[in-house]
Amino acid sequence: MALESWTQQQRDESRAIGLQEGLEQGLGEGLEAFRRAISTLAARRDLHLTPSSIARLNACRDLDQLLQWHSWLLEQSDAIVELP
């Protein structure tokens, strides 16, 4: 019985670790896709992000912030823009 209990515990721990790793990978990939979408939006609207804006965009791991920047970019018309 002890061996079965230990084996089940190991399986449960492995599943939990796998789930966490999968969630982290999925979140990272989703954020990267959204950063690319923002860059594409800027390019299609002929907007040029400043180097500091590009660095901030690439470093951002906050979905709410990315959504705000996306909405903000839709309102911009200047050729060169600095993310707020």
pTM assigned to the model: 0.74
Give every residue of the chain whose pLDDT is below 50, as ranges: none
- The answer to whether residues 52 and 25 touch, using CB atoms and an 8 Å cutoff, is no
Q: What is the pLDDT of residue 9?
A: 83
Please give the C-alpha separations between residue 27 and each of 21, 33, 54, 66, in angstroms, as whole numbers.
10, 10, 20, 13
Give per-residue pLDDT as tens, 35-54.
999 999 999 999 999 999 99
Q: What is the pLDDT of residue 1?
A: 56
Q: What is the pLDDT of residue 59?
A: 94
Q: What is the pLDDT of residue 19?
A: 80
Q: What is the pLDDT of residue 21?
A: 84
> What is the amino acid identity at position 59?
A
